[in-house]
Structure 1
Amino acid sequence: MRRKITTGLLFLIPVLVLVLMHTTGIQNKPVDGGNYEYYEWESLEGIASVPVTVMPAYTEFPGISELLAELETGIKTAKDEVLQILAKEENALGYYSNLILANRSEKEGKDASEYYRTALELYYTEEIHFKLAEHLLKNGKLSEAEKEYLLLLPNEKALDVLMAMKTAPEKICEAYASQKEWEALRKFLTMVFENNPAENDNITLMKYYAQALFEQGDYKSALPFYKKLYGLDNSDQSIAWLYARCMEAVGQTSAAVKLYSVVGEKGAYRLGLILQKQGKALEAADAFAGSNEAVSLWHAARIWDNAGMIEKALETYTRIASIASMYQDDAAYRAYILSKRLGNDDVDKFLDVLSFHPAWMDRIGEKPVMPELTELNYHVPEYLKQAEIYEAEGFLDAAAIEVAIGSKTTTLEEKLALGDWYLKRGQYYNAILWGIRSLSEQPTRRGYELAYPQLFEKYVIKEAEEYKLDPALIWAVIREESHFRYDAVSKAGAIGLMQIMPATGKDIASRMGLSITDNDLFKPEINIMLGAFYINSMMNMFNGDIDKALAAYNGGPGNVKKWLESGLMTSEEDFPTAISFSETQEYVTKVRNAYFIYKWLYK
């Protein structure tokens, strides 16, 4: 019996050796990544057939250089089955592998759409999106192709294809409107109406055309369209409001007031603004109060506050303080102040709102509640290490793709590592964003350091010493003005780190005996020098009051003087909410918050 077993085992030895040889070759491959071949060994002297799965020998995976070479030349660098494995990876290798497989499938007349879609999910580019759309169109998948070309609008090439496909103009309008491409929408519909006059009576297209004009502020041109649309259906409150807004803009105020009055809450805010301009303040307040929007209620509360109707104002401020909006903290502050003046100490609900804002807490003499900071040990994630390798090898696009794909879903530790990554490369805006994102998960010291960095330190310290300013104040202004982007340009034309208007910059420079160009404002040293000079001037003008100086920096010193004469000003604590420019009001508190955090963080 023992001899028979031994003899049987001897027959199995060649089979086992063969299996071991092939197993060695595939150790490092994924379980589902190989192309396995199936062999059935013929029976030997009565031994039963043994099915054996023979694995392919070890295959070296191509690197980024090989993949890029194939994309450029079209010369194959790896087998399809190898690329199929790489294509499942969520990284730059996976991205490029999908593109290569798409190219190969195209050449072989096969469906390449899934490879293109996977590549786009990993890393979007318009170029690859067009390739997907063109591939679908070429292969007769018209519905899918149309969908992709609609997503590619407002690209004119996409529009040309859609026109050739005879896509319904309503679909094209919807695509433009969803992306808020109002000028492109206007031009498209102008062409449609010119080429097919019958479409002038298409109600849907008329609505889109009127909307395109309205959104660009061309109320005069939009007016006749909304007049016609309102005549067709005067029960549509959205159309009624748009019609009224156009009439208001062209001076048909009485008609606008009449229409705003019948569209209920939707028209309350605009009605209030008109009445306020007409000097009918209390009527305006009643109109404003007819809305549930925080901005409208804020206007009502301010009017009553200014008129000395404190209890009515307090009631409305309290209401606003319960609504999440840009006015919530301002309203909570004002409600707190008025409550105290009326002898009401039931202010906990206001403190709950204000406690999130160091600036407000400081203003009311309360100590801001700051988080306990943790020191978190974290490692550089593999995708950042790989991106560094790509950078060192000169593959900068691959490095950017690696980071973009890897950072789609991140842990707290990865957010901090990404902040470090961008900070190291001088991409300060992105570093700050990752710091802020990390703080939304957990307050760590490193997260705060990334979100509130002390950059351009040499220039900041120099100017702080020159004008006896707290450097933390300069950093706070830079952070809120530009997020440390030296090349930032606002819609109004303000330039650089501290957002200096060219005319203001040249005026300051001349007072300092200097001559500058607009481009000089992009230079950190010059921008910080001029910004610090201006902050110092405003601090001197308003006797060292930071709130007033910051309000003047943003809204102009002349406006600050007007706000100081407002009926809301009965004491210094009234100033922050006496500011009538909502942007300036927000700005002052944001900078004060940042200033406090800088002082707390780097104490």
Structure 2
Amino acid sequence: MKDISEDSTYRRRKRREVLRRARRIRVLAFLLTLGLAIFLGVMLILRLSSPDSSGPLSEENSETATSEPEASFSQESEEPEEEHDSASTAQSDGPDISLTPGQQYLRGYSLFSVGQLERAAHYFQQSAEGDHPLKDYAQFYLARTYFGAQKYQEALSAFQALAKNYPDSYWYPDAQLGIADSYLELGDLAKAEESYGNFVKTYPQSPYLTRALLRLGDCLEGQQKWDEAAVQYQNLWLRYPLSPEARQVQERLDTLSQRGISPPQPSFEQLYERALIFAQADQSDNALSQLEEIYQEISQDPSRAGLSRKILLQMGILNHQLRRFDAAIDILGQLMQRWPDSLEAQEALLWRGRIYPKVGKREKGIEVLLSLASRYPGSPFAPRSLYEAAVLLEGDGKLEQAWQTYLTMLQNYATDPLAVDGLWKASWISYRSGDMEKALQLFEQLTSSFPRSSLVERALYWEARARENLGDQERALSIYSQLLNRGPLTYYGLRAAERVARITGGGDTGSGGPGEANEQEDSSGSRASDTVRSSGVEGRSKDNIPVFSEVGVRLQPGGQYFQEVSAPVFLTDNPPSPQAVSHLEKGRELVELGLRSMATNELELSQKLEPTNKNFLLELSDLYLQIEDYPRLIRIAEKSFREFLVRYETDSVFAWEMAYPLGYQPLVESYAGQYAIDPYLLLALIREESHFNPRAVSVAGARGLMQIMPSTGESIAANIGEHYSLESLQDPEKSIRMGSWYLKELLDKFDGNVVLALAGYNGGPGAAARWRDRFSGLEEDEFVESIPYRETRGYVKKVLRSYAVYQSIYGEK
């Protein structure tokens, strides 16, 4: 196994990291020395005299400020990346004019974060008067400092100054809210009402919208506008029922009701929409109980039949989500019986077809799905019902019937988005069944009929494999070359290079092959496909080189598919806007100060203003790299430099390094060495699991860089003697340690086979073991394509591809 530190690229990045750390250490040393000097000077002055406090805040206010009412601001306190001696700074009675304006802001922010508001205000005032990119930050936090110290008039003036002088500031919306909050605290309810109303209209997506709505109601109530306040509270309760403020408005509505003031009764449609909000938030029980109450009220009202149908359908779906399958079947049956020809009844029939297999009635489910298409051929659910019926048939090994059902769906609904998927599945059934002639015909039909489909590369590759099986090596090589020209570092491009090497005598490139994917098997998992001949996926030695590794080396400069070109030059008609440059410079300053979250806010704003200016985006990307914001770095590469991520060439190296960064490299290298794992495999896995986002949480609940499920993490922690907590899964060091240990366990379990280990990491080791036994005769590419879980199949392809790309970019040349 090669050590990353031997690579020239690694050494270059390591040097950059060392220089950054050295710069940070110098800044820290300067600040600590300066703080000590200030402390000693102040102590000397205090021995000679006892001056009164000066400044806009009293000592008493600064001590109690953190427990007083707080304004609604979107940026919570952030610990600077560098550590500053707040204790020594707290001894100073005034700002140190020897600091730069940026350093004054940072010193003020450090004091603000620990509640030393009076002293923080001195630094913010000094910084706000300086000439530097962060004047609006100093002004905003000066206003916040006043507000926290209950100096509401001063806070109002400071917020208004920010809104007037810095209309393009990131803090402008927060300043508008701060103005409203200040008016409210000052008791000027009319102006507060106006300000909150403007905020609600202007910033409907603000995370503080519901808080503003609640305070708007408070303003109305305080002015004895009881009816308006009641309507305001009810709208908040209806539209934002999951917010903390929704619980508070219920109390206010009850209080108003005692005074004989009630808003208009909400309509049943409004209550239905409110219940759907709970359903969309996975609060199925709550949503179901609300829908049942509504249905009881309207079920016998003919004028509300449309709403009754919608409610019954949602009740059936929610019972399905709660795994109350019998109840779901019964409720959906009621809908079909009362309104048999309605669109909702057709969808109910689709859901019944899906539910029957889950209660052990697969044949009944297939029958119901097929009946939908026959009874309602014009239904928008007919193509889906045929497709899902074919999936069930294929899973039961009824390949001929499944194949025919897919083609029927294609013939009758050729323009439906599912048509191309059905054609692919029919093609794959033909291939697996050994009917290579029919497979060729269908693969060719797919590529000609759906040239823009994402399945084209897949179909081309398997067309070439079918031709190999028929002995047409020349045509197979031609198709493989076509795939390599389309993109040698795509999954199928890499597979094509592997096949070319075998056909032309280049040799077998070899192969190797904790989150859980609880996905139902789809059509790829048919047991009848096990008859395909192969060299076997389970017999690979752990001493073999990993999948694609030789291919990766061949794709280096000077290789068969490498083209020498000049470095890129991006020409734009217009320079970046002044606003974008301003936000970029603020971001750069905040990066230097170690305030990463604030820096990210500014960089995102600048990116929104210049989404297509490649020179600007490259400069932006360098800053994202400095703060180790790998997810945004990857997104820029994949969205804005997509055309460079086709071949690994001289002018595209920058894009590949952006899209495949060496995230958390020291930790990866350490634990890869400890557990004898190729570090590039570990990097590839982390990239595809989380894009190097340590705070990532999946829909299923997997967490952290390596997306470990809580139950799996608890088991791993017990095995390695690590203290476990849910938060530990989002700690980079602990996540990489636990994930590396688990991956090593899987590699050992599957004799070093990387493909099976990856399948086990995503789909579970038990499922991977079943697939190994079930598809023991398949070649590796056929095995991957036959993984029954759609999610796991795609996951294995993505990680293998990333593994090869990391080897190609950073591996030995």
Cα 1:295–1:154, aligned 2, differ >3 Å: closer, same or farther? farther
Map 1:494-513 onto structure 2 (within 5 A): 494-500=702-708
Give the residue type in structure 2 aligned to 1:226. L
Q: How much has 1:77 moved relative to structure 2?
A: 5.6
Query: Secondary structure at 2:153's aligned position in 1?
Result: coil
In structure 2, how many angstroms separate the alpha carbons of the residues matched to 1:274 and 1:419? 47
Using the TM superposition, name which of 160-169 and 476-485 deviates more: 160-169
Map 1:228-243 onto structure 2 (within 5 A): 228-236=334-342, 239-243=345-349
Residue deviations 1:401-429 (CA, integer Å, cap 9, x gap): 65565554334455445545455445544
Aligned residues: 542
Query: Pick from 710, 715, 721: which aligns with 1:515?
Result: 721
Q: How much has 1:85 moved relative to structure 2?
A: 6.4
Q: How much has 1:265 moved relative to structure 2?
A: 1.9
Using the TM superposition, name which of 286-295 and 406-415 deviates more: 406-415
Name the structure 2 match of 1:95: 173
Cα 1:424–1:115, aligned 2, differ >3 Å: closer, same or farther? farther
Query: Pick from 275, 280, 283: which aligns with 1:180?
Result: 280
In structure 1, how many angstroms separate the alpha carbons of the residues matched to 2:644 and 2:335? 52
Quick check: 1:98–1:116 contact (8 Å CA) kept in 2? yes
Q: How much has 1:522 moved relative to structure 2?
A: 5.2
Name the structure 2 match of 1:595: 803
1:311 lines up with 2:423 in the alignment: no
1:222 lines up with 2:340 in the alignment: no
Cα 1:280–1:158, aligned 2, differ >3 Å: closer, same or farther? same
1:286 lines up with 2:494 in the alignment: no
Give the residue type in structure 2 aligned to 1:170. E
Q: How much has 1:313 moved relative to structure 2?
A: 3.1
Cα 1:296–1:416, aligned 2, differ >3 Å: closer, same or farther? same
Q: How much has 1:116 moved relative to structure 2?
A: 0.6
Name the structure 2 match of 1:259: 371
Map 1:76-155 onto structure 2 (within 5 A): 86=164, 89-100=167-178, 102=180, 104=183, 106-108=189-191, 111-112=194-195, 115-117=198-200, 120=203, 123-128=206-211, 130=213, 134=217, 151-155=239-243
Query: Pick from 641, 649, 666: which aligns with 1:439?
Result: 641
Cα 1:429–1:190, aligned 2, differ >3 Å: closer, same or farther? same
Residue deviations 1:69-98 (CA, integer Å, cap 9, x gap): 565543156779975962882323422343
Cα 1:580–1:417, aligned 2, differ >3 Å: closer, same or farther? same
1:359 lines up with 2:458 in the alignment: no
Cα 1:92–1:515, aligned 2, differ >3 Å: closer, same or farther? closer
Name the structure 2 match of 1:337: 465
Name the structure 2 match of 1:55: none
Residue deviations 1:363-419 (CA, integer Å, cap 9, x gap): 222676789764889999422543576799999997776556555433445544554
1:458 lines up with 2:576 in the alignment: no
Quick check: 2:689–2:706 contact (8 Å CA) kept in 1? yes
Q: How much has 1:479 moved relative to structure 2?
A: 1.2
Cα 1:567–1:271, aligned 2, differ >3 Å: closer, same or farther? same
Using the TM superposition, name which of 497-506 and 548-557 deviates more: 497-506
Quick check: 1:123–1:404 contact (8 Å CA) kept in 2? no
Quick check: 2:677–2:744 contact (8 Å CA) kept in 1? yes
Name the structure 1 match of 2:755: 547
In structure 2, how many angstroms separate the alpha carbons of the residues matched to 1:392 and 1:194? 62
Gaps of 5+ in 2: 1-134, 254-261, 377-381, 410-415, 501-553, 556-560, 646-651
1:189 lines up with 2:291 in the alignment: yes
Cα 1:154–1:191, aligned 2, differ >3 Å: closer, same or farther? farther
Quick check: 1:170–1:205 contact (8 Å CA) kept in 2? no
Using the TM superposition, name which of 380-389 and 446-455 deviates more: 380-389
Quick check: 2:431–2:439 contact (8 Å CA) kept in 1? yes
Quick check: 2:390–2:403 contact (8 Å CA) kept in 1? yes
Quick check: 2:685–2:799 contact (8 Å CA) kept in 1? yes
Query: Secondary structure at 1:75's aligned position in 2?
Result: helix
Query: Secondary structure at 2:483's aligned position in 1?
Result: helix
In structure 1, how many angstroms separate the alpha carbons of the residues matched to 2:481 and 2:268? 52
In structure 1, how many angstroms separate the alpha carbons of the residues matched to 2:495 and 2:744? 21
Q: TM-score, normalised by structure 2?
A: 0.55
Q: How much has 1:591 moved relative to structure 2?
A: 1.0
Q: How much has 1:174 moved relative to structure 2?
A: 3.8
Give the residue type in structure 1 aligned to 2:328. A
In structure 2, how many angstroms separate the alpha carbons of the residues matched to 1:491 and 1:78? 42
Cα 1:350–1:310, aligned 2, differ >3 Å: closer, same or farther? farther
Residue deviations 1:324-376 (CA, integer Å, cap 9, x gap): 66755444432331234342456389728962753322222267678976488
- Aligned residues: CA RMSD: 4.9
Query: Secondary structure at 2:408's aligned position in 1?
Result: coil
Quick check: 2:457–2:483 contact (8 Å CA) kept in 1? no
Q: How much has 1:126 moved relative to structure 2?
A: 3.2
Quick check: 1:552–1:559 contact (8 Å CA) kept in 2? yes
In structure 2, how many angstroms separate the alpha carbons of the residues matched to 1:334 and 1:580? 18
Map 1:517-532 onto structure 2 (within 5 A): 517-519=723-725, 524-525=732-733, 527-532=735-740
Query: Pick from 303, 308, 313: which aligns with 1:210?
Result: 313
Quick check: 1:375–1:446 contact (8 Å CA) kept in 2? no
In structure 1, how many angstroms separate the alpha carbons of the residues matched to 2:678 and 2:349? 52
Cα 1:400–1:463, aligned 2, differ >3 Å: closer, same or farther? closer
Name the structure 2 match of 1:37: none
In structure 1, how many angstroms separate the alpha carbons of the residues matched to 2:205 and 2:592? 23
Q: How much has 1:593 moved relative to structure 2?
A: 2.0
Name the structure 2 match of 1:53: none
Cα 1:433–1:66, aligned 2, differ >3 Å: closer, same or farther? same
Quick check: 1:391–1:399 contact (8 Å CA) kept in 2? yes
Query: Secondary structure at 1:364's aligned position in 2?
Result: helix
Using the TM superposition, name which of 189-198 and 391-400 deviates more: 391-400
Residue deviations 1:87-110 (CA, integer Å, cap 9, x gap): 882323422343355555853487
Give the residue type in structure 2 aligned to 1:222. A
Cα 1:400–1:456, aligned 2, differ >3 Å: closer, same or farther? closer
Name the structure 2 match of 1:18: none
In structure 1, how many angstroms separate the alpha carbons of the residues matched to 2:702 and 2:192? 54
Identical positions, percent: 21
In structure 1, how many angstroms separate the alpha carbons of the residues matched to 2:753 and 2:597? 49
Cα 1:543–1:395, aligned 2, differ >3 Å: closer, same or farther? closer
Give the residue type in structure 1 aligned to 2:164. L
Quick check: 2:762–2:792 contact (8 Å CA) kept in 1? yes
In structure 1, how many angstroms separate the alpha carbons of the residues matched to 2:142 and 2:659? 39
Gaps of 5+ in 1: 1-59
Name the structure 1 match of 2:101: none
Q: How much has 1:586 moved relative to structure 2?
A: 0.8
Q: How much has 1:165 moved relative to structure 2?
A: 3.8
Q: How much has 1:204 moved relative to structure 2?
A: 1.2
Q: Which has the larger radius of gyration?
A: 1
1:478 lines up with 2:686 in the alignment: yes
Cα 1:347–1:568, aligned 2, differ >3 Å: closer, same or farther? farther
RCO higher in structure (CA 8 A, sep ≥6)? 2
Q: How much has 1:598 moved relative to structure 2?
A: 1.7
1:580 lines up with 2:780 in the alignment: no
Q: How much has 1:585 moved relative to structure 2?
A: 1.5
Residue deviations 1:501-538 (CA, integer Å, cap 9, x gap): 56766777888xx4334446555445434544554565
Q: How much has 1:476 moved relative to structure 2?
A: 0.7
Give the residue type in structure 2 aligned to 1:260. L
In structure 2, how many angstroms separate the alpha carbons of the residues matched to 1:543 and 1:521? 27
Cα 1:181–1:349, aligned 2, differ >3 Å: closer, same or farther? farther
Using the TM superposition, name which of 524-533 and 268-277 deviates more: 524-533
Cα 1:413–1:306, aligned 2, differ >3 Å: closer, same or farther? same
In structure 1, how many angstroms separate the alpha carbons of the residues matched to 2:492 and 2:165? 53
In structure 2, how many angstroms separate the alpha carbons of the residues matched to 1:311 and 1:99? 69
Query: Secondary structure at 1:92's aligned position in 2?
Result: coil
